[in-house]
């Protein structure tokens, strides 16, 4: 059974249709990315899955339960990392984790979580004195301390410097090793590409593509071949680059000339994403 | 019950860690009591049946403590927790909302209880104020007052939109309220318009109730009007709270 199943999900805020008929499934043990620009409906979708918002239409099941009707038993099984990392500034790392651990019937030991999020040296430091990256890791720790089956991460590395992002990625990869199902939203492509098994790309409240990052790249615009001929740039787009390239090079060799500035390029996920999320005139 | 105890312990830890709460809502009433009673604790107040100032002030500071801890402190803490997103985070945990709210209130009631004990001890040690006779009536009166001010505090927190504005709004309400209701002076000597305002404030009735029990030897069941008006204010606060309480930060 899927961890999450979403069908025809809709949500409006007044006249604004934030989510317009979204479908996707998340399998157990999978890392699933919701990718899209700001305002695409990522946070609204995730907050409906977390039980924060009521949907206007469609059906949603998270761990077999409708989150709009879910109670404490269901909350035992999910962990949530929100965009803002609000916590009690005057407690230490360990005190914060202990406080939240007490809300669950079978929490993960606090010291295990401290190790997992790499805050051993900050164990007895008050939250107010933690750096931005350390706070974010504690934030993750608070979501993990209940030992949930399913973890939601809303833009886990937004506002991080490159070093802190890499550290956060390491931590998230170690979560995968625990066999947890993870749903993360992000507008960073490299993040989705590195962390997610599959991504759904959202554009203006609709899913425009779903699949493993590699497949999305494969399904997208063709391979590009560029070279210069008589000083003019030639650009070819093709779905069969091997054949085209062979013909080009065979011809050039036969004519004993060089294909100047020859480049063969696969599109990056970034280009796929830009193509998918480009605003099209209606 | 296990969850309640766990959360209460957490809330008490948070309370003792907060310097702002500890000073402004907890220590200040005791400091004022020490200062004011040192200056005129032995004067007699003619308009109040010639009672000595020290016990009159002691009761006044109990009222001031109630409004500053249960009303002002609670309202500010709730707004900050809501606007910073802590309440939203708690919503995602299995901690049930009624358990959370009751543990939070209990922590503030406990702080108020310690405050009262502190004020009674200061009165006894420095200003020879006798301990109250009708202890049971006093406990009931204090509980009623503290719970009513908690209700009003939660109600007010629901009306404040930003964490930055919380202290300003709360201070602008509870400080003048403490003066006008007669925490520091006898309201009998006030001009008419101040007395007219005092006549609607809940603290006025709480102070009358506490002073009647502490200074004039009344039992709480002879204080129907004061009890009713105070309770009505508390209920009004709870109604506002139930109607407009939010777990999530105010948007943009």
Local confidence band at A279 (pLDDT 50, 70, 90 cut-offs): low
Residue A38, pLDDT above cutoff 60: yes
Buried b (16+ CB within 10 A) or exposed e, B180-197: bbbbbbbbeebeeebeeb
Question: Can you say whether residue B139 is alpha, beta or left, with left for phi > 0 and alpha for psi between -120 and 50 degrees?
Answer: alpha
Asked if A141 and A114 touch (Cβ cutoff 8 Å), the reply is yes
CB count in 10 Å sphere of residue B211: 24
pLDDT confidence of residue A275:
74
Q: Which CATH architecture has domain A4-218?
A: 3-Layer(aba) Sandwich (3.40)
With a CB cutoff of 8 Å and minimum separation 6, the contacts of A137 are: A117, A118, A119, A167, A168, A171
Angstrom distance (rounded) from CA A71 to CA A66: 10
How distant, in Å, are the alpha carbons of A29, B134, B218, B233 from that of B221?
64, 12, 8, 19
Q: What is the pTM of this model?
A: 0.86
Query: Is the pLDDT assigned to residue A219 strictly greater than 80?
Result: no
Q: Look over chain B and give the mean of its residue pLDDT values, rounded to a whole number.
A: 93
Residue in B closest to A75 by C-alpha? B94
A62-120 per-position pLDDT tens digit: 999 999 998 899 999 999 998 877 899 999 999 999 999 999 999 999 999 999 888 99
Contacts of B20 in chain A (CB under 8 A): none
pLDDT, greater one: A194 or B155: B155
| Residue B90 pLDDT grade (very low, low, confident, very high; cuts 50, 70, 90) | very high
- The residue with greater pLDDT, A153 or A237, is A153
Task: Note whether B91 contacts A52, CB cutoff 8 Å.
Answer: yes
CB A183 within 8 A of CB A152: yes
Task: Tell me if chain A has a CB within 8 Å of the CB of B91.
Answer: yes
pLDDT grade, residue B87 (50/70/90)?
A: very high
Mean of the per-residue pLDDT values of chain A: 87
Q: What is the ipTM of this complex?
A: 0.91
Closest by CA to B173, choosing from B193, B152, B194, is B152
Taking the Cβ of residue B5 and every Cβ of chain A, the question of whether any pair is shorter than 8 Å is answered with: no
Instruction: Quickly list H helices, B128-223.
Output: 135-159, 163-181, 192-198, 202-214
CB A34 within 8 A of CB A182: no
pLDDT band at B28 (very low <50, low <70, confident <90, very high): very high
Which residues of A fall below an 8 Å CB-CB distance to B? 50-52, 72-73, 75-76, 78-80, 82, 84-88, 90-91, 95, 99-100, 102-105, 142-143, 146
Q: Does pLDDT of A282 surpass 50?
A: no
What's the average model confidence in pLDDT over A226-250? Answer: 86
| Percent of chain B residues topping a pLDDT of 90 | 79
The percent of residues in chain A predicted with pLDDT above 90, rounded, is: 46
Q: Which residues of B touch A63 (CB under 8 A)?
A: none
Residue A206 pLDDT > 80: yes
Residue B95 has pLDDT above 50, yes or no: yes
Instruction: Provide φ and ψ at B201, rounded to 5°.
Output: -80, 140
Q: What's the CA gap between A183 and A4, in Å, rounded?
A: 10
Q: Is the dihedral of CA A96, A100, A102, A108 positive or negative?
A: negative
Give the pLDDT of residue A172: 82
The alpha carbon of residue B19 is apart from the nearest alpha carbon of chain A, in Å, by 10
The mean pLDDT of B102-123, rounded to a whole number, is 96
The share of chain B scoring above pLDDT 70, in percent, equals 100
Chain A interface, best mutation among B88, B92, B99, B246, by max A CB count within 10 A: B92
């Amino acid at each position: 059974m899927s961890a999450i199943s979403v069908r025809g999900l809709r949500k409006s805020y007044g006249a604004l249709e934030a989510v317009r008929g979204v479908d996707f499934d998340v399998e157990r043990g999978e890392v699933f990315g919701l990718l899209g620009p700001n305002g695409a409906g990522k946070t609204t979708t995730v907050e409906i899955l977390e039980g924060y918002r009521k949907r206007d239409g469609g059906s949603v099941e998270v761990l077999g339960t409708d989150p709009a009707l879910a109670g404490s038993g269901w909350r035992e099984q999910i962990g949530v990392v929100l965009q803002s990392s609000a916590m009690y500034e005057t407690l230490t790392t360990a005190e914060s984790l202990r406080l939240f651990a007490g809300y669950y019937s079978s929490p993960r030991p606090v010291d295990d979580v401290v190790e997992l999020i790499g805050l051993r040296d900050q164990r007895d430091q008050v939250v107010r004195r933690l750096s931005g990256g350390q706070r974010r890791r504690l934030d993750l720790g608070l979501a993990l301390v209940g030992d949930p089956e399913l973890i939601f991460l809303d833009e886990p590395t937004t506002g991080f410097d490159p070093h802190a992002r890499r550290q956060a990625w390491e931590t998230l990869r170690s979560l995968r090793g625990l066999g947890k199902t993870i749903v993360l939203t992000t507008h960073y492509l490299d993040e989705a590409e590195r962390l997610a098994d599959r991504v759904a790309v959202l554009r203006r409240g609709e899913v425009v593509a779903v699949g493993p990052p590699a497949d999305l790249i494969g399904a997208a615009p063709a391979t590009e071949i560029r070279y210069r001929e008589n000083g003019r740039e030639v650009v070819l787009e093709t779905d069969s680059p091997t054949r085209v390239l062979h013909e080009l090079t065979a011809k050039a060799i036969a004519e004993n000339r060089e294909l100047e500035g020859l480049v063969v390029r696969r599109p990056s996920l970034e280009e796929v994403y830009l193509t998918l999320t480009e605003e099209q005139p209606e | 019950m296990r969850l309640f105890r766990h959360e209460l312990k957490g809330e008490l830890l948070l309370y003792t860690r907060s310097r702002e709460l500890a000073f402004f809502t907890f220590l200040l009433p005791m400091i004022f009591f020490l200062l004011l009673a040192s200056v005129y604790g032995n004067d007699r107040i003619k308009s109040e049946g010639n009672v000595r100032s020290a016990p009159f002030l002691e009761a006044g500071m109990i009222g001031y403590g109630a409004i500053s801890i249960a009303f002002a402190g609670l309202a500010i803490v709730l707004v900050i927790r809501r606007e910073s997103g802590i309440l939203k985070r708690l919503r995602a945990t299995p901690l049930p909302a009624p358990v959370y709210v009751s543990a939070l209130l209990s922590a503030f009631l406990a702080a108020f209880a310690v405050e009262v004990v502190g004020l009674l001890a200061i009165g006894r040690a420095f200003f020879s104020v006798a301990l109250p006779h009708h202890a049971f009536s006093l406990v009931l009166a204090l509980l009623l007052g503290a719970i009513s001010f908690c209700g009003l505090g939660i109600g007010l927190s629901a009306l404040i939109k930003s964490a930055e504005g919380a202290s300003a709004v709360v201070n602008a309400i509870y400080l003048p309220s403490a003066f006008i209701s007669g925490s520091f002076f006898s309201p009998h000597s006030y001009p008419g318009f101040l007395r007219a305002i005092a006549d609607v404030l809940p603290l006025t009735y709480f102070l009358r109730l506490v002073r009647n029990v502490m200074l004039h030897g009344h039992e709480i069941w002879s204080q129907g009007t004061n009890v009713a008006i105070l309770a009505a204010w508390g209920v009004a606060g709870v109604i506002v709270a139930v109607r407009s309480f939010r777990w999530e930060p105010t948007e943009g």
